[in-house]
Chains A and B, each alone.
Chain A
Amino acid sequence: MLGNLGRSLSKTMKKLAGMTIVDEEVVREVIKDIQRALIQSDVNIKLVFNLSKSIEERALNEEPPKGITPKEHIISIVYDEMVKLLGEKSHELVIDDKPYRILFLGLQGSGKTTTIGKLARYLRKKGFTVGVVCTDTWRPAALEQLKQYTEGQDVSIYGDPQNRDALDLAEKGLARFQKKDVIIFDTAGRHKEEKDLLREMEELSAIVEPHEAILVIDGTIGQQAREQALAFRKATDIGSIIVTKLDGSAKGGGALSAVAEIGAPIKFIGTGERIDDLEVFDPERFISRLLGMGDLRSLLEKVEEVSEEEIAEESLDAILSGKFTLRDMRVQFEMMGKMGPLQQVMSMLPGAGKLPKDASRMTEETIRKYLIIMDSMTEEELEKPDIIKHSRIRRIARGSGTRNEDVKELLKYYRVTKKAMKGLGRRKMGGPMGQLMRQFMR
């Protein structure tokens, strides 16, 4: 999450947590670290100074409440002030009319179409029916792209590459999707300047009469996001914002704080390339994750979301009684895959960032490979993995397009996991990890 910013901030917090005495000097040092981290991620200098000033003031003058050590007090002040920097409140997307019409805007390359795909999936998961109208008359491929992103998700798409009239397309799309809960309008992202963008919004608004206009801002532009958000905010009072590409750039912090500063509501953030990488933006959760305090709430929500789809009830009993088969392992892998990138999941656990970047990517790839290998096994082999010997290994490797060594590796991993699971069953699981595992297996 936000690359370097998260890393340096959580390092600072760890440093602070490890100190024995907290005096003025320590406070100054912590503030300096935070300043450096924020400026590096392109947060406006003025904002950074305001932030550090109020941290300093509060840390030195406020008495820590009873029962809280000075150290914890400072941590909570830093947390408070950082949350303030991002606008404190979280803004949820409330669908209160039918069809709820959302107009998507954004400069060229801001990730509009991708974000629409993600949002459509998000809404589908919440149980709404979704129609997407593609009015991009400049880039015929946009329609194709939308279709790809929403493939297999029961999202209807309307578009016509032959029709060059965006307003006409909008009108027809609107008529067609009258029965949907939500209609999303994709617009042509051809503009290089805000002015044109806003004109398009006005024209389309006259026809669509949207309940909400969402501006997609590319997080990599840093504090320049301020100008865009400001113009947008002035032009409409039903506007909200999605900041994208927060995974790739160090400048995401700058973009977020700039948008928050002018009071524009950020509803979602895009945190990666995968279709699930869209999160409701909640400054409190966001900051706790950034500071390495973990975000168990998000994680548990995610786990719940996944296990609602597929509950492996028998698994738990089987596992606890020491009978853990390859089939159980496959269910677990599938769930992990659905929860999104491991890296993201890990960053929600307290003490995050422990996983080196490469290691987690490896793991993710490995999981995918293991799933493919298991697809090449027979039912019998999944139930009784011990029968898999040389010739079966060869057959499975050939069937799954992998090497013999890969299959052996998977079997070894299975045996290790089985052993660990046996141990888990006996001991009582505690702590967040235990909670997570229980959720996993429920």
Chain B
Amino acid sequence: MNLIIWPTYLDSRKSRSEGRRVPLEYAVESPTASEILRAARKLQLEASMESDRAYPPSWWESSGRVVVEYNGKKSELLPKIARLVRSSRKR
């Protein structure tokens, strides 16, 4: 199944009502689509990036998005990706 991951999901600057999907402890500041793509690939998942897409609630900025092939719940996948993005920032 293809899951869409918007950078907003992992963005520590956004509130949950603005579209964040993970707790603040996993979130990072303004993640990019390519960071998410790298994290998904690290999890050995089939993933691709669509960089000119805009998250509809903030349609004026095209943040891009990532399409991940994953069989399971999005809520399971997101923390995994979030953690990887976070650790990639630390280095």
Contacts and interface: CB of A to CB of B under 8 A. Distances in A.
A36 interface: no
Interface in B46-64: 60
A395 to B, nearest CB: 10
Contacts of A398: 60
Say what secondary structure dominates the interface of chain B: loop
B18 to A, nearest CB: 16
Interface string A380-405: 00000000000000100110000000
Sorting the interface of chain A by its residue count into under 10, 10 to 19, 20 to 34 or 35 or more gives: under 10
A397 B60 CA distance: 8
A398 B62 CA distance: 13
A294 B2 CA distance: 58
Nearest to B59: A401
Interface string B59-88: 010000000000000000000000000000
A17 B60 CA distance: 54
3 contacts: A394-B60, A397-B60, A398-B60
A397 B59 CA distance: 11
A171 B65 CA distance: 63
Nearest to A404: B60
Nearest to B60: A398
Contacts of A397: 60
A431 B60 CA distance: 46
Contacts of A394: 60
A327 B54 CA distance: 32
A398 B60 CA distance: 6
B4 to A, nearest CB: 22
A109 B86 CA distance: 63
Top 3 A-B residue pairs of the complex, sorted by shortest distance between their CB atoms:
A398-B60, A397-B60, A394-B60
Contacts of B60: 394, 397-398
B55 to A, nearest CB: 14
B58 to A, nearest CB: 10
A397 B54 CA distance: 15
A391 to B, nearest CB: 13
A399 to B, nearest CB: 10
Nearest to A399: B60
A204 B60 CA distance: 57
